[in-house]
Structure 1
Amino acid sequence: MIEYIIDFSLVALLVIGFTATIGVITNGIGEKLAGGEGDPESFNQSAKTQVGWNNVGGKSKK
């Protein structure tokens, strides 16, 4: 029974490790091919939308 638990644990660790490694590799390829340069478009749009807004919260400056 202990051999089964050891085998199961090893296979589970290998599957999890392999999946994580493939995810990192795929993410790296995706960033090289499809992006990773310049400012994100959503950040630029948020900055444009918030121009002129009043700051709220925090301590008031006296």
Structure 2
Amino acid sequence: MFIDFTIVAILIIGITALMGVILNGIGENIFGGQKKRLHTAMSEHIQTGWKTVGGKKLRDNLGAFLKTK
């Protein structure tokens, strides 16, 4: 009984989360107009020239990881 309730709860939460992501994407594409990338473009503009954080070791590991993909 408890396992059934848990499975149904997980499915409802998962479906609700996916519906939000899917509908957000559809809404941005249909109603976004000229401002589809406004938020990300402004974030990129503000962050230009910032120092990379995390140290050399982290950057090297990330670069090697990305090259393997």
TMscore range, shorter length: 0.5 to 0.7
Runs of at least 5 residues in structure 2 that lack an aligned partner in the other structure? 40-69
1:15 correspondence with 2:12: yes
Q: TM-score, length-normalised on structure 2?
A: 0.48
Displaced runs of 4 or more, over 2 A: 36-40
* Identity fraction in percent: 51
Residue 52 of structure 2 corresponds to none
In angstroms, what is the RMSD of aligned CA positions?
1.9
Q: Which has the higher helix share?
A: 2
Runs of at least 5 residues in structure 1 that lack an aligned partner in the other structure? 41-62
Q: TM-score, length-normalised on structure 1?
A: 0.53
Bigger relative contact order (CA 8 A; separation at least 6): 2
Q: How many residues align?
A: 38
